[in-house]
A and B are shown apart, each in its own frame.
Chain A
Amino acid sequence: MIQFHHVYKTYQGPVHALRDINLDIKKGDFVFLTGPSGAGKTTLFKLLSAYDKPTTGKVKVAGYDLDQIDAKDVPYYRRKIGVVFQDFKLLRDYNIFDNVALPLTILGQTGAQIKKKVHSALDLVGLNHRWDFYPEQISGGEKQRVAIARALIHQPELLIADEPTGNLDPDLSDEIMSLFDKINAQGTTLVVATHDHSYINRRQKQHIRLKEGTLVV
């Protein structure tokens, strides 16, 4: 599902955010990504979501060569994946319902279909009672759950989540993690960045560690 081959990402500075990353994540895997702040987790996710291209190296995800993908193919790739961004990236001027509905609207689904799916996605994250609120009217943890609902709504093949439980209390974190387990059980590949090692130890999942832009085994 995901292959990284000698991937480097260097920002202006120069900041070597990623150095010689090699990865092979299979379809249906559930992989945790950890590392201290500034290790390059978000950078790696930016490459995964075709938000940015690697400086050198090959990135292949779901059959797309992301290091040389054509701009016009990017939208179609992005429709296949779901992304929970560290900064949520919710639309300020849209209510929660419309935010979660966005990927379906883009896919051109009808109002009735969208309504059903959005309400069941909001149910999964426990936010149905807030559907007509705007992002500024809800808490950080609630925003995070809206972002998760939006990333799941179109049943992507791959779900990547950058610190999806960063703003959640332990109980809610547990719920979200078991939600991820459920999605993974349905065949979705997951890559989740987290600081919280307790989950990883408890779940015996695959674990990728980043440190100063390199993989540590």
Chain B
Amino acid sequence: MISGSIFKKIGSSIRFYPWVHLSAFLVLTSTLTIILSLTLFFKNLEGILVSWGSQVEMNIYLADNLKKEDQQEIHKTIVELGHFKNVQFITKESAIDNFFSKMSKYVPDFAEDKEFLNVIPASYLATLEKTLPISEIASIGKSILKITGVEDVSYGQEWIENFSVFLSTLKNTSWFISLVLAVGGIFVIGFIIYILINKRREEIEIYELCGATSSMIQAPFIVEGAILCLLSSVLALVFSFFILVLQNNFLHSEMIYFGLNEIFHFFSLIQIVTTILTCTLIGGVVSYLFVRKMNSGWAAASRI
């Protein structure tokens, strides 16, 4: 009986104030979509940053005029680090040849400039064996740099480091945005309930005067808030899924040149269920907090 009348009341609440409900639904859905999409984006970007590690190649430049034994010693030390699947020695000559073939097309004069060519040292090209976080790649680089006879190590560290700084700034910013949006969302639910209660003050008062308890009066509002958030979160998940599909299409058509042929993944089933349940719970709790303030059993009297 009670539950039947709760849904009847929610039904009539929607019928009488359709715009209040519609706007609340839209605001909540878009807020949640933004929050969920940001979360997904960064979750995936982090994954990409990590998986880039497997494609990182280190150029280990050697000092000039190394003895054969020293060079072999260096090779052994690098291999013994155990991080590389392939360590290839590039002689000064082949480096020069390589450089030649690549650059002479553009700047033919290079070919004549023997002194410049002398600058290019012998090196090792080492390919990382598996996916590693940026910080670990950096520390491998540092330990290689310590080996005597190694002049320099390069793996695009500046680029990667700048990118990760950029990423963490972006991440903090979007955390902040999400937080603001979440707080805003909570207020939206609260104000919707507040508006509905004010619009129905008279009705609540009459219910009270006919002997309705606080929980009878509050229950429909609480259930209404919970359902509103439940539906919004489901729709927001659907929207953020489509946004993800768009992102993937973009990655495949535009970003393939950057070696970014990764696919962005959606939330797992458990994460989806948790998201929906959390939103529903928040909706119910926020409604309760607002409705509790409004209806104290003496609504009629407190107005006098």
Q: Are A103 and B210 in contact (CB under 8 A)?
A: yes
Q: Are A52 and B301 in contact (CB under 8 A)?
A: yes
**Interface assignment of A217: CB less than 8 Å from any CB of chain B:** no
**Interface assignment of B234: CB less than 8 Å from any CB of chain A:** no
A77 CB contacts on chain B under 8 angstroms: 211
Q: Are B16 and A93 in contact (CB under 8 A)?
A: yes
Q: Are A72 and B214 in contact (CB under 8 A)?
A: yes
Q: Are B209 and A49 in contact (CB under 8 A)?
A: yes
Given contacts A75-B213, A89-B206, A93-B16, contact A105 B301 (CB under 8 A): no
**Interface assignment of B125: CB less than 8 Å from any CB of chain A:** no
Q: Are B296 and A150 in contact (CB under 8 A)?
A: no
Q: Are B209 and A89 in contact (CB under 8 A)?
A: yes
A 8-22 to B, binary, CB cutoff 8 A, 1 in contact else 0:
000100000000000
Given contacts A91-B203, A93-B12, A105-B5, contact A51 B209 (CB under 8 A): yes
Interface residues of A in 94-132 (CB under 8 A from B): 102-103, 105-110
A 32-47 to B, binary, CB cutoff 8 A, 1 in contact else 0:
0000000000000010
Interface residues of A in 140-196 (CB under 8 A from B): 150
Q: Are B209 and A150 in contact (CB under 8 A)?
A: no
Contacts A51-B300, A75-B208, A76-B211 supplied; 12 other A-B pairs, CB < 8 Å: A46-B304, A71-B214, A74-B208, A74-B297, A75-B212, A75-B214, A85-B209, A89-B202, A89-B209, A91-B203, A92-B202, A93-B16
From A114, which residue of chain B is reached at the shortest CB distance? B1
Q: Are A72 and B206 in contact (CB under 8 A)?
A: no
Cβ-closest 6 pairs across A and B = A71-B297, A79-B211, A78-B211, A75-B213, A52-B301, A75-B211
B205 CB contacts on chain A under 8 angstroms: 89
A87 CB → nearest B CB, Å:
11
**Interface assignment of A53: CB less than 8 Å from any CB of chain B:** yes
